[in-house]
Amino acid sequence: GAVVSQHPSRVICKSGTSVKIECRSLDFQATTMFWYRQFPKQSLMLMATSNEGSKATYEQGVEKDKFLINHASLTLSTLTVTSAHPEDSSFYICSASSGVTGSNQPQHFGDGTRLSIL
């Protein structure tokens, strides 16, 4: 159980385009979803936290208009990187939790999306 599906797994696109990444919880309802960015051999850096039906809470330094997050249902959250540039190239990972963190509910991670902007 607790499977999180993330698509696409890899994206290569030209500078200036927008890219949408989907994160789905397949066998549980995800009240909270998280979006992370990970550079090679580095830690997971939280970008934003989203609750179903609410606006996402962004971490300091993350541009809201650049990284659009939608959490329209209890099983789907999307991250759209708008007007992507080479510096946006990275590994993006989503995670989902069925409860408020602190209630013994772990975060379950998707397989990540490797984004390359040319």
Query: Where on the chain is the footprint of another protein (CB under 8 A)?
Result: 2, 4, 6, 32, 34, 41-46, 49, 51, 93, 95, 100-104, 106-112
Specify the residue, 14 or 60, whose C-beta has the smaller distance to another protein: 60
CB of 44 to another protein, least distance (A): 5
Closer residue to another protein, CB minimum distance, 24 or 108? 108
Pair of tokens at residue 16:
């200036």
**Coil/strand/helix, residue 26:** coil
Rounded to whole angstroms, how far apart are CA atoms 39 and 62?
15
Please report how close the Cβ of residue 78 comes to another protein at its closest, in angstroms: 18
Contacts of 107 (CB under 8 A, 6+ apart): 34, 95, 96, 97, 101
Cβ proximity to another protein: between 14 and 104 the closer is 104
| Cα distance between residue 103 and residue 32, in whole Å | 12
- Considering the complex, state which of residue 65 and residue 104 has its C-beta at the smaller distance from another protein: 104
Q: Is 104 helix (H, G, I), strand (E, B) or coil?
A: coil
CB of 72: closest distance to another protein in angstroms?
19
Residue 13 contacts residue 19 (beta carbons within 8 Å): yes
Q: Minimum Å distance from CB 100 to another protein?
A: 5
